């Protein structure tokens, strides 16, 4: 049994463990944290393309993207960013900026999740475009600044260790529904209280 989900009809009874229903880092053939993060980024881009298609099940895809985005960002912030801050203190500002961009992404995600009628194409596509723009910007900066800092400052063994820690947090979150509208709303409220938004 997979239990009820408010925002996604994608899960079926008797299916594989929830975290394995996702592509990206779940199926990547590497333990390297850089490779795992890149694999999730490519999965986000695949989901963006599917979400642009009016013939797809947009409600299910939206839920899938939301869960993966929140789990990925939380795992980066819990495991990867703090380790990198220790290894490369000179990157502290870039890392802080990355966390702020996660909050901006969550804010744009919340607006997409709040579109009540996914068949209202114009509204859905406006909100999707805003989310894709915010995320593409973050993915670009993260890959250039933060992941290059990891390549330069963190050795292979530690990158594998970080990869396992990243995946453990990400997959544990994916057993629940981290992208549901209430949780994303809570994350946005917290970011506003911290002055990130």
Residues that bind Fe ion (CB under 5 A): 37, 76, 142
47, 67 contact by CB (below 8 A): no
- To the nearest whole angstrom, how small is the minimum distance from the Cβ of residue 99 to Fe ion? 8
- To the nearest whole angstrom, how small is the minimum distance from the Cβ of residue 136 to Fe ion? 12
Q: Which is nearer to Fe ion, 118 or 134 (CB)?
A: 134
132, 48 contact by CB (below 8 A): yes
- To the nearest whole angstrom, how small is the minimum distance from the Cβ of residue 41 to Fe ion? 6
The distance in angstroms from the start CA to the end CA of the chain is 38
Packing angle of the helix pair 33-52, 121-141 (nearest 10 deg): 160
How far apart CA 4 and CA 179 sit, in angstroms, is 14
Look at residue 120 and give its three-state secondary structure.
Answer: coil
Residues whose CB falls within 8 Å of the CB of residue 131, separated by 6 or more in sequence, listed in order: 105, 108, 109, 111, 112
- To the nearest whole angstrom, how small is the minimum distance from the Cβ of residue 74 to Fe ion? 10
Q: Which is nearer to Fe ion, 124 or 179 (CB)?
A: 179
Q: Which is nearer to Fe ion, 142 or 180 (CB)?
A: 142
- To the nearest whole angstrom, how small is the minimum distance from the Cβ of residue 9 to Fe ion? 26
Q: Which among 96, 100, 68 has a CA at the least distance from the CA of 167?
A: 68
């Amino acid at each position: 049994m997979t239990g009820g989900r408010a925002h996604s009809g994608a899960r079926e009874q008797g299916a594989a463990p929830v975290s394995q229903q996702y592509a990206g880092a779940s199926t990547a053939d590497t333990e390297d944290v850089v490779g795992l993060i890149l694999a999730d980024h490519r999965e986000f881009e695949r989901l963006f393309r599917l979400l642009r298609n009016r013939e797809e099940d947009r409600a299910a895809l939206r839920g899938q993207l939301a869960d993966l985005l929140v789990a990925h960002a939380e795992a980066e912030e819990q495991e990867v960013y703090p380790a990198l801050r220790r290894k490369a203190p000179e990157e502290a500002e870039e890392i802080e900026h990355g966390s702020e961009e996660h909050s901006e992404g969550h804010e744009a995600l919340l607006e997409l999740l709040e579109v009540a009628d996914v068949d209202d194409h114009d509204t859905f596509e406006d909100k999707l475009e805003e989310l894709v723009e915010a995320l593409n910007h973050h993915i670009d900066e993260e890959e250039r600044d933060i992941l290059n800092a990891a390549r330069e400052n963190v050795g292979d063994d530690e990158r594998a260790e970080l990869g396992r820690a990243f995946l453990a947090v990400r997959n544990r979150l994916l057993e629940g529904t981290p992208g549901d509208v209430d949780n994303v709303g809570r994350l946005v409220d917290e970011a506003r209280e911290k002055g990130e938004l």
